[in-house]
Amino acid sequence: MSDTSKLGFYLLLAPILLWLVVLIILPHIGLFFVSISEKIGPREYETGFGNYATFFGEPLYWRTFARTAIMSVMATALTLILGFPIAYYIAKLTRGRTKTTLFLMCMIPFWVSELVRTFGWMILLRETGVISTTLQRLGVISGPVELLYNDTAIMVGLVYTSILFMVVPLVTTLDSLDDSLIEAGYDLGGTSTSIMREIVIPHAMPGIVSGCIVVFMLSLGNYLTPILLGGKDSLWFTGMIYTQFITRFNWELGSALGFLLLGLSSAVVFLGLKLSGQSLSETMGRT
Amino acid sequence: MPFSTLRGRTLTNAIPDLSCKDLTKDFDAFRAVDHVSFEVPQGSFFSILGPSGCGKTTLLRMIAGFQSASSGDLLIKGKSMIDVPPNKRPVSMVFQHLALFPTMNIGDNVGFGLRQRGVGRADITRRVGEVLERVGLPGVSARRIDQLSGGQKQRVAIARCMVLEPDVLLLDEPLGALDLKLREHMKVELKSLQAAFNTTFVYITHDQSEALVMSDNVAVMNHGRFEQIGAPHEVYHNPGTAFVAGFVGDANRIEAKVAAVNGSMLTLTSHAGTQMSVETGTADLAVGQSAQVFLRPEAIELSRSGEGFDSDQNVSRCTVNSVLFNGANSSVIVRDPQGNSLNAVMPQTGAFADLRPGDEIFTRWHPAKARCYLANEV
């Protein structure tokens, strides 16, 4: 590389480096130091892992933590189950304009802010909402029914919020699957099921994994949906971190919880990659 | 290549492996395949030769079952296949780009069909090993697809089909993606593989040399119809229609008018004014009709002096326009006094090695060597 092209390379690299260092690495280092300082008196701190100990000592914390993790995994699985047929239909069974239209129709809801979309669900699900009223009018139920503020409502919201991030990488990978491979599968005596299992899914694996990673991260870090659709009783770990920082003004514990969440998401992604036999660069680099 | 073990089925019976009866395929207003009928006897190599867009791929896909026929019947070993889905038909297909499964290793690729049939694991391993050995690739089961060369992939694709022992193997221009040298090599290899497996091959191509070299029978297809079915030498030497004459092999095409008919001997005048006589087997041309004369470059004899050229042949005194040197396939383009140009094969005797553009040369061709067709046939 000549000196000028070297300079150009570093100039182009500068924004991303600045972004990484200033907005991600530095705050996390700061948070880490905050998380390992224990408050022993006004303006008096001591270094130690007391905040982490508090987390493990208080069942509410680690139960919420586990609940958040399990529900995020479930939301990811549901999104995959719902998103795969949609993506397969768009990528393999439609052509030309229909394909573009369908793809756009998946995107259009995302032009509206997440807050507004979540309120949309509230209008549908609440006691005086569309579904409850319609069911009463039809005579299916006698009194109003509250569909909001439970785990199902959270799950519906999470899947709805993140399905696009599953469909897009899946459509991309399925699009790259040559139709003649599917035909060859039939030609060699394969059934729809065996072709799906042996040809389509192995090919789509990078898309499945990258979609799952994104959806899992989004669900785990989601704040609005669990709060709005889950109500007061439905605890979500991000809500807990918010409470520590803003309501309780306990930055030390909040930071520790934040780090635990980071650890959790990294661990789950690592596990997912190991189980599916994919590598991070292979799955995320392709889409 | 270890093809010494010829264990194929040697029993030939009267029922052809593949038989199409008035097979037709319409796409909206467009008729892609138009009343095609043919039979392929067991163990033979049958090629369908035609330009792109002639319907040959549609025909092949109908045989494989990926496309349904609009009308007509399709029989394999005497059983109608019209309502049989592709995964239940006793045919296998080698796809144009081979369609090997990139997510599986070679062993799993070849074993795919056997797994679908529920064959036991040990049996699959044994049969996959055997078929890979027969195509000359022993011990490659554990390798990945991208570790093979183009020719090896070709053989794996054939092995993947042959392991299922299909009644008919369909090949969709599988040599198209290979470079010239390898293609020449694979032609010979495909033919010997076919002989070794003794399976019926149906091969489609737009490359006439592939069709002529490998086939027992060639069908020339154009606009959804079969123009002619016959052995390669028959199609080459006795083309049934003007299209076949022009498409199979090189030919000089001369537009002419019939000037006189004398039995099977026609006298024609080209548009430029050259007189020629052509002997036809079927004299269905009348005086005044427009005709197309097809003359193979190798039918034209060259001579510097013109001595010994008798007058019952078409002799003309030409000038060399250009010399196209291409090793054994060298040819020379000559122009007669009326301005018609002819492409003639350069004899490999060396006598014409010093031929230069502008030189004078005599051409001679026998009236029986040319083919003559009514002009509106094309």
CATH number, domain with residue B348: 2.40.50.140
Note the helical H segments in chain B.
Answer: 56-64, 106-116, 121-134, 150-162, 180-197, 208-214, 232-237, 242-247
pLDDT at B177 over 60: yes
Note whether A178 contacts B164, CB cutoff 8 Å.
no
Nearest CA in chain A to B86: A187
Note whether B153 contacts A: Cβ–Cβ < 8 A: no
Per-residue pLDDT band for B359 (boundaries 50, 70, 90) equals confident
CA separation for the pair B140, B126 (Å, rounded): 13
B99 to A194: CB separation less than 8 angstroms, yes or no = no
Q: How many structural domains are present in chain B?
A: 2
User: What residues of chain B lie within 8 A of the CB of A190, using their CB?
Assistant: 87, 112-113, 116
Is B112's CB within 8 Å of A183's CB?
no
CB contact under 8 A, A203 and B116: no
Mutate: best of B101, B104, B115, B124, partner A, most A CBs <10 A:
B101
For residue B13, pLDDT over 90 is answered with: no
A199/B117 CB distance under 8 A? no
* Cα within 13 Å of Cα(B44), Cβ side: 20
Closest of B43, B39, B38 to residue B11, by C-alpha? B43
Residue B135 shares a structural domain with residue B209: yes
A177 vs B contacts (CB less than 8 Å) = none
Query: Are residues B126 and B259 both part of a single domain?
Result: no
Residues of B in contact with A203 (CB under 8 A): 102-103
Q: Which of B92, B95, B96, B112 to mutate to test the interface with A (most CBs of A within 10 A)?
A: B112
Q: How far is CA B343 from CA B114, B252, B328, B346, B370, in A?
A: 53, 6, 15, 9, 14
Q: List the single residue in A178, A189, A199 with the smallest CB-CB distance to B117.
A: A189
What are the chain B neighbours of A202 within 8 Å (beta carbons)?
A: 103-104
Question: Do residue A181 and residue B64 have CB atoms under 8 angstroms apart?
Answer: no
Q: Is residue B143 part of a domain?
A: yes
* pLDDT at residue B100, rounded to an integer: 93
Residues B172 and B280 in one domain: no
Contact partners, residue B354, CB within 8 Å, separation at least 6 = none
- Complex ipTM: 0.80
Burial of A269 (0-12, 13-18, 19+ CB in 10 A): middle
Q: Determine the Cα–Cα distance for residues B20 and B224; give it in Å rounded to an integer.
A: 14
| pTM of the predicted structure, to 2 decimals | 0.80
**What distance in Å separates residue A207's CA from the closest CA in chain B?**
14
Q: Tell me if B111 is assigned to some domain.
A: yes
CA dist., res. B292 & res. B248, Å (int): 15
Gap from B146 CA to chain A (nearest CA, Å):
15
**What pLDDT score does A287 carry?**
45
Which residue, of B189, B215, B245, is where some domain finishes? B245
Search chain B and give the residue with CA nearest A186: B87
**Same-domain check for residues B82 and B191:** yes
Record: contact A191-B116, CB cut-off 8 A: yes
Is B4 within a domain? no
Domain shared by B177 and B268, yes or no: no
pLDDT in tens, chain A (287 residues): 577 888 888 889 999 999 999 988 999 999 899 988 888 777 778 888 888 988 888 898 889 999 999 999 999 999 999 999 999 999 999 888 999 899 888 888 888 888 898 888 899 988 888 988 999 999 888 888 888 888 889 999 999 989 999 999 999 999 999 999 999 999 999 999 999 999 999 999 999 999 999 999 999 999 988 988 988 777 899 988 998 899 988 888 899 999 999 999 899 889 888 888 877 777 666 54
CB contact under 8 A, B103 and A199: yes
Q: What is the pLDDT of residues A248-268, one digit of tens each?
A: 888 888 999 999 999 998 998
B144-158 pLDDT per residue, tens = 999 998 889 988 999
Tens digits of residue pLDDT in B302-352: 888 777 766 678 888 888 989 888 888 888 999 888 888 889 988 877 778
Q: Tell me, what's the pLDDT at B174?
A: 87
Whether residues B41 and B189 share a domain: the answer is yes
Q: Which residues in chain B are contacts of A187 at CB distance < 8 A?
A: 64-66, 86-87, 91-93
pLDDT at B355: 85
To the nearest 10°, report the CA torsion of A79, A80, A81, A87.
100
Residue pLDDT, tens place only, B51-109: 988 999 999 999 999 999 999 999 999 899 998 999 999 999 999 889 999 989 999 99
Which residue segment(s) compose the domain that B202 sits in?
18-245
Query: Is B13 within the bounds of a domain?
Result: no
- Whether residue B5 is predicted with pLDDT greater than 50 in this model: the reply is no
Contact partners, residue B143, CB within 8 Å, separation at least 6: B105, B106
Do B300 and B180 fall into the same domain?
Answer: no
State whether B139 and B102 are in the same domain: yes
Interface of B with A in 89-108 (CB under 8 A): 91-93, 95-97, 99, 101-104
Query: How many C-beta neighbours within 10 Å does residue B60 have?
Result: 23
Same-domain pairing of B224 and B128: yes
Taking the CA of residue B110 and the nearest CA in chain A, the distance in Å comes to 10
Q: pLDDT by residue (tens digit) across A154-196?
A: 999 999 989 999 999 999 999 999 999 999 999 999 999 999 9
Q: Which of B245, B267, B282 is the last residue of a domain?
A: B245
- Give mean pLDDT, residues B25-49: 91
For B99, the closest of A178, A189, A198 (CB atoms) is: A178
CB contact under 8 A, B101 and A188: no
Q: Return the number of CB contacts < 8 Å for A and B.
A: 66
Distance CA B140, CA A215 (A): 40
Q: How far apart are CA B76 and CA B89, in angstroms?
A: 9
In a domain, B12, yes or no: no
Q: How far is B138 from chain A (nearest CA, A)?
A: 22
B273 and B193 in a common domain: no
Closest CB from A181, A191, A202 relative to B99: A181
Q: Please check whether residue B10 lies inside any domain of the structure.
A: no
Name every chain B residue with its beta carbon within 8 A of the beta carbon of A181: 99, 101
User: What pLDDT was estimated at residue B4?
Assistant: 37
Question: What is the spatial distance between Cα B32 and Cα A158, in angstroms, rounded to a whole number?
Answer: 50
Given B192, B215, B245, the domain boundary residue is: B245
Q: For chain B, say whether A282 makes contact (Cβ under 8 Å).
A: no
Q: Tell me, yes or no, whether B122 and B219 share the same domain.
A: yes
Kindly list the structural domains of chain A, giving each domain's residue range(s) and its CATH number in brackets, ordered by start.
61-286 (1.10.3720.10)
B170 CA to chain A: closest CA distance, Å? Answer: 11
Q: Are B104 and A198 an interchain contact pair (Cβ–Cβ within 8 Å)?
A: yes
The answer to whether position B265 is within a domain reads: yes
Q: Which long-range contacts (CB under 8 A, 24 or more apart) does B125-132 make?
A: B127/B163, B128/B159, B128/B163, B131/B159, B131/B162, B131/B163, B132/B106, B132/B107, B132/B156, B132/B159
Question: Looking at the structure, do residues B226 and B340 belong to the same domain, yes or no?
Answer: no
DSSP string, B221-282: EETTEEEEEE-HHHHHHS-SSHHHHHHSS--EEEEEEEEEEETTEEEEEETT--EEEEE-SS
In chain A, residues 193-222 whose CB comes closer than 8 Å to chain B: 194, 198-199, 202-203, 205
Mutation for B interface: A180, A181, A188, most B CBs within 10 A = A188
Nearest CA distance, B253 vs chain A (angstrom) = 40
Query: B58 to each of A67, A261, B87, how far by Cα in Å?
Result: 56, 57, 18
Write out the H or E segment, with its range, that includes residue B149: none
pLDDT for B176: 81
In angstroms, rounded to a whole number, what is the distance separating the alpha carbons of residues B215 and B35? 23
pLDDT at B8 over 80: no
| Domain-embedded: residue B236 | yes
Residue of A nearest to B92 (CA): A187
CATH number of the CATH domain containing B148: 3.40.50.300
DSSP B216: S
Residue B358 DSSP code: T
Residue of chain B nearest A180, judged by CA positions: B99
pLDDT value of residue B92: 92
What is the nearest CA distance from B101 to chain A, expressed in angstroms? 7
Confidence of residue B117 (pLDDT cuts 50, 70, 90): very high
Contact (CB<8Å) B102/A180: no
Of A186, A188, A199, the CB nearest to B160: A188
% of chain B surpassing 70 pLDDT: 93
With beta carbons under 8 A apart, name residues in chain A contacting B145.
none
